A and B are shown apart, each in its own frame.
Chain A
Amino acid sequence: MVELLWLVPALPLAGFVILVLAGRRMGEPAAGWIATLMVTASFVVSCVAFVGLVGLEDHVFVQTLFTWIPAGDFLVDIGLYLDPLSGVMILFITGISALIHLYSIGYMHGDANFSKFFIYLNLFVFSMLVLVLGDNLLLTFLGWEGVGACSYFLISFWFTKPANASAGKKAFVTNRIGDWGFLVGIFMVFFTFGSLNYSDFLPEAGGLAQTTATFIAVMLFIGAIGKSAQLPLSVWLPDAMAGPTPVSALIHAATMVTAGVYLLSRINPIIAVSADWVPMLIAWTGAITALLAATVAVAQNDIKKVLAYSTVEMLGFMFMGVGIGAYWTAIFLMVVHAFFKALLFLCAGSVIHGMHENQDMRVMGGLRVLMPVTFLAYLAGWFSLAGIPPFSGFFGKDEVLTYAFQENKALWVVGVIAAFLTAVYIGRQAFMVFFGEERWPQYIARLGTATPAMVEATAAADEAAIAAEEAADEGGFDEVDDVEFHPVPEGFRPHESPWLMTLPLVVLAVLSVVGGLLNLPFPKSMHYLEKWLEPVFEGSAVKLELSSGTIVGLLVFSTVVALIGTAFAAAVWLRGRIDARRFQPALFVNAWYYDSALSRFVAGPGTDAFESTASFDRTVIDGAVNGVGGVATRAGQALRQTQSGYVRRYALGIGIGSLLILAFMFTRVVG
Chain B
Amino acid sequence: MSLSILAQTPLLTEQIPTPVVSWPALLPLIVMALGGLLLLTFASLFGRRVGTPFFTWWTVMTGLIAFGTAVPLWAQVQGWDRRVLWWNPEQTPAGAFSTVGGAFGIDGFSVLLTMLIALAVAVCALVMAGTSERDGERHVEGPALLILSATGAMVMVGANDLIVLFLGLEVLSLAVYVLAAMNLRRVQSQEAGLKYFVLGAFSSAFFLYGIALVYGGTGSTSLVNITGFLADNLLLGSSSVLVLLGIALMVAGLAFKVAAVPFHSWSPDVYDGAPTSSVAFMASVVKIAAFAGMVRVLVVGFDTFAADWRPILQVLAVLSLVGGALVALVQTNVKRLLAYSSISHAGFILLGVEAASDTGTRAVLVYLVAYTFLVIGSFAVVSIVGRSGDGMHSLDSYRGLGRVSPALAGTFTILLLAQAGVPFTSGFYAKFYAVIAAVDAQSAWLAVVAMLSAVIAAYLYLRLVVTMWFVAPGDQTPAPGLPIPATTGVALVVCVAVTLFIGITPGPLTSVVDEAPPVVVEPPVEQVADAPGLDGLPPGLLDALGGGGAGGQDPLTVDPGGAGTPAGGAP
Contact = CB atoms under 8 A, between A and B. Distances in A.
Nearest to B329: A636
A653 B327 contact: no
A658 B510 contact: no
Contacts of A629: 459
Interface in A68-114: 68-72, 78
A666 B247 CA distance: 12
Contacts of A649: 265
Interface in A647-662: 647, 649-651, 653-654, 656-658, 661-662
Nearest to B239: A669
A20 to B, nearest CB: 13
A661 B199 contact: no
Interface in B295-339: 308, 311-312, 323, 325-330
Given A664-B312, A665-B247, A653 B262 contact: yes
A636 B433 CA distance: 28
A650 B259 CA distance: 12
B198 to A, nearest CB: 5
B201 to A, nearest CB: 10
Interface centre among B194, B252, B511 (most CB of A within 10 A): B252
A70 B511 contact: yes
Contacts of A639: 323, 326-327
Interface in B225-277: 237-238, 240-241, 244-245, 247-249, 251-252, 255-256, 262-263, 265-266, 268-269
Interface stretch (B285-293, B374-382, B391-399, B500-508): B500-508
B470 interface: no
A668 B202 contact: no
A71 B330 contact: no
Contacts of B109: none
Contacts of A661: 248-249, 251-252, 312
Interface in A26-71: 66-71
A668 B312 CA distance: 11
A665 B265 contact: no
A548 interface: no
A637 interface: yes
B262 A656 contact: yes
Contacts of B241: 666, 669
Nearest to A629: B459
Nearest to A78: B505
Nearest to A67: B507
Given A633-B330, A656-B262, A668-B244, A650 B195 contact: yes
Contacts of A643: 265, 268-269, 327
Given A70-B511, A662-B245, A669 B238 contact: yes
Contacts of A70: 506-507, 510-511
A657 B262 contact: yes
Interface residues of A, number: 35
A112 to B, nearest CB: 19
A632 interface: yes
B187 to A, nearest CB: 13
A525 B194 CA distance: 90
Interface in A96-137: none
A669 B237 CA distance: 5
Interface in B42-88: none
Contacts of B237: 669
Interface in A568-609: none
A669 B244 contact: yes
Contacts of A640: 327, 330
A664 B252 CA distance: 13
A69 B507 contact: yes
A649 B268 CA distance: 14
B265 A636 contact: no
A179 to B, nearest CB: 15
B161 to A, nearest CB: 23
Contacts of B441: none
A642 interface: yes
Contacts of B195: 647, 650
Contacts of B238: 669
Contacts, number: 105
Contact of B308 (A650, A653, A656, A665): A665
B34 interface: no
Contacts of A69: 506-507
A640 B244 CA distance: 33
Contact of A68 (B252, B262, B505): B505
Given A71-B436, A640-B330, A642-B265, A662 B199 contact: no
B456 interface: yes
A635 interface: yes
Given A70-B510, A72-B436, A650-B266, A665 B203 contact: no
A66 B508 contact: yes
Contacts of A635: 326
Nearest to A637: B330
A491 interface: no
B432 interface: yes
A645 interface: yes
Nearest to A668: B308
Interface string B197-213: 01100110010000000
A632 B326 contact: yes
Nearest to B269: A645
B188 to A, nearest CB: 10
A657 B263 contact: yes
B305 to A, nearest CB: 9
B281 to A, nearest CB: 21
Contacts of A71: 432-433, 436
Nearest to A649: B265
A658 B262 CA distance: 9
Interface in B414-473: 432-433, 436, 456, 459
A636 to B, nearest CB: 4
B454 to A, nearest CB: 13
A304 B243 CA distance: 81
Interface string B337-357: 000000000000000000000
Contacts of A668: 244, 308
Nearest to B198: A647
B263 A647 contact: no
A66 B456 contact: no
Contacts of B312: 661, 664-665
Contacts of B323: 639
A68 B507 contact: yes
A77 to B, nearest CB: 8
A635 B459 CA distance: 15
Contacts of A651: 198-199, 202
Given A69-B506, A78-B505, A654-B256, A662 B249 contact: yes
Nearest to B514: A70
A647 B198 CA distance: 8
A664 B206 contact: no
A521 B194 CA distance: 89
A636 B312 CA distance: 23
B327 A636 contact: yes
Interface in A380-412: none
Interface in A618-637: 629, 632-633, 635-637
Nearest to A70: B510
Nearest to B194: A647
A639 B434 CA distance: 26
A635 B507 CA distance: 39
A668 B195 CA distance: 34
A650 B436 contact: no
22 contacts: A66-B505, A67-B511, A69-B507, A71-B432, A629-B459, A632-B325, A636-B328, A642-B265, A643-B327, A647-B194, A647-B195, A649-B265, A653-B262, A654-B203, A654-B252, A657-B263, A658-B249, A661-B312, A662-B245, A665-B308, A665-B312, A669-B241
Interface of A: 66-72, 78, 629, 632-633, 635-637, 639-640, 642-643, 645, 647, 649-651, 653-654, 656-658, 661-662, 664-666, 668-669
Which A-B residue pairs are the 4 nearest by beta carbons? A67-B507, A650-B265, A636-B330, A658-B252
